[in-house]
């Protein structure tokens, strides 16, 4: 599988001297969801703004689809088309008083003809399930609806890579499920590459194919969720934790001596482990009964 996005030794220091990114390297595979984990101030937002060209890296390279990204003024529109960001607070992103107009903003900025913009706006609304909200004023939307409108406003630019900063923060459980479903659909049906920053550790094993752990502007570790969750001490050192299910598995394994896989982090993985254990116990008991009878 090829890399849609590759970051090589990217560094960025703010004017006040804060080194927000320190020689970061990571890869986001095409058509996969890559999670960026990290506590507050780890550098996630700075990384995303560098990837979208709002900030310009001071050193290092960003490769999109194998080609090096240039940060010249004339290259920025293309970069922003290819890499879209959905910000954490939708109120920062939705500036139009009207849903339909707000969604159209990015596509109009691409200089597309009105028919094409309309087609894309309709499609983005259908994807995010907000077609019924098209006539609503932005201020009349709920927080979850605003999140969806914000996502539609980026989808309309048809980016190859979409970055979502804390997409489930502040949502109710139903809202979280809806966003998750949407992310699956974007990955499965559009083959979109998604980069996801989240603190919600229970979400990570459900949707991320790869994860990177960011701390103080450096990548601490990376790999599949299972691989990273098998090193809980690194997560804890960096103000994070295991997903609840993985934590339960860790306790069962380390404290109760039960032979379960410690990296099982989702309900389905835990269910498999428990069923496997039960069957093992049943088999052992059946064997014992059989042996008793023979005796």
Partner 1 sequence: MGTDRCACRSRLRWVDPVPKLWLSLAGLLVCVFADSAAVGGFTLLVFSVLNLLLGGHTLRILTRFFAVPMGFLAIGCGMIAFRPLEQAQALWALGNSGWGISRQGLLLAWMVLCKALGALAAVYFFSMNTLITDLTWALRRLRVPGLLVELMELIYRFLFLLREEAARIQVAQKSRLGYQSIPQSLRSAGMLAGMVLLRALRRGDRVYTALESRGYTGQIATLPRTYTTGRWCYPAAAAIAVSQGLILLAERGSWI
| Residue from the set 23, 30, 49, 277 that interacts with partner 1 by CB under 8 A | 49
- Residue 62 contacts residue 7 (beta carbons within 8 Å): yes
The C-alpha torsion from 67 through 71 and 75 to 76, rounded to 10°, is: 120
By CB under 8 A, the count of residues binding partner 1 is 42
Q: Name which position in 87, 127, 212, 229 contacts partner 1 (CB under 8 A).
A: 87
Under the criterion CB under 8 A, does residue 109 sit at the interface with partner 1?
A: yes
Alpha-carbon gap, residue 76 to 81, rounded angstroms: 8
Block residue for tokens 């997903």: 243
Of residues 34, 82, 93, 210, which one binds partner 1 by CB under 8 A? 93
- 5 or 265: CB nearest partner 1: 5
Nearer of residues 49 and 63 to partner 1, judged by Cβ: 49
CA distance 265 to 260: 12
Does position 95 interact with partner 1 (CB under 8 A)? The reply is: yes
Per-residue binding string, partner 1, 112-141, x by CB under 8 A, is: --x--xx--x-------------xxxxxx-
3-state secondary structure of 255: coil
CB of 128 to partner 1, least distance (A): 16
Is 14 an interacting residue with respect to partner 1 (CB under 8 A)? no
Please identify which residue in 59, 68, 75, 97 interacts with partner 1, judged by CB under 8 A. 97
The reply on whether position 169 binds partner 1 by CB under 8 A is no
CA distance 6 to 51: 10
192, with CB counted inside 10 A (0-12, 13-18, 19+), is buried
Rounded Cα–Cα distance for residues 175 and 180 (Å)? 9
Of 16 and 256, the one with the shorter C-beta distance to partner 1 is: 16
Residue 154 touches partner 1, criterion: CB under 8 A: yes
Q: How far is CA 176 from CA 25, 115, 148, in A?
A: 30, 33, 11
| Site residues (CB under 8 A) for partner 1, limited to 58-77 | 77
Residue 196 near partner 1 by CB under 8 A: no
Return the closest-CA partner of residue 105 out of 152, 148, 72, 138. 152
What's the rounded Cα separation, in Å, for the pair 158 and 179?
Answer: 18
> Which range binds partner 1 by CB under 8 A, 49-57, 177-185, 226-234, 243-251?
49-57
Residues that bind partner 1 (CB under 8 A): 49, 52-54, 77, 80-81, 84-85, 87, 89, 91-98, 100-102, 104-110, 114, 117-118, 121, 135-140, 153-154, 157
């Amino acid at each position: 599988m090829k890399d849609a996005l590759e970051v090589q030794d990217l560094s960025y220091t703010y004017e006040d001297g804060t080194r927000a990114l320190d020689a970061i390297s990571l890869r986001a595979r095409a058509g996969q969801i890559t999670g960026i984990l990290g506590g507050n101030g780890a550098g996630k937002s700075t990384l995303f703004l560098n990837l979208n060209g709002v900030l310009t890296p001071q050193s290092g390279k960003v490769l999109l689809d194998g080609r090096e990204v240039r940060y010249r003024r004339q290259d920025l529109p293309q970069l922003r088309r290819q890499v879209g960001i959905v910000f954490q607070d939708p109120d920062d992103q939705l500036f139009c008083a009207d849903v339909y107009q707000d969604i159209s903003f990015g596509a109009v900025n691409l200089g597309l003809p009105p028919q094409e913009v309309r087609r894309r706006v309709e499609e983005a609304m259908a994807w995010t399930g907000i077609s019924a909200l098209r006539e609503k004023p932005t201020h009349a939307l709920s927080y979850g609806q605003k999140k969806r409108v914000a996502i539609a406003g980026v989808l309309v630019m048809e980016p190859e890579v979409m970055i979502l900063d804390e997409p489930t923060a502040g949502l109710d459980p139903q809202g979280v499920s809806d966003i998750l479903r949407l992310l699956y659909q974007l990955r499965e049906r559009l083959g979109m590459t998604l980069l996801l920053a989240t603190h919600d550790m229970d979400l990570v094993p459900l949707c991320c194919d790869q994860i990177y752990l960011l701390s103080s502007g450096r990548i601490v570790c990376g790999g599949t969720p299972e691989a990273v969750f098998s090193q809980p001490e690194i997560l804890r050192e960096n103000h994070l934790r295991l997903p609840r299910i993985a934590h339960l598995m860790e306790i069962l394994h380390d404290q109760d001596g039960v032979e379960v896989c410690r990296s099982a982090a989702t309900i389905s993985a835990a269910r498999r482990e428990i069923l496997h254990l039960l069957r093992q116990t049943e088999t052992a008991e059946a064997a014992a009964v059989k042996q008793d009878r023979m005796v």
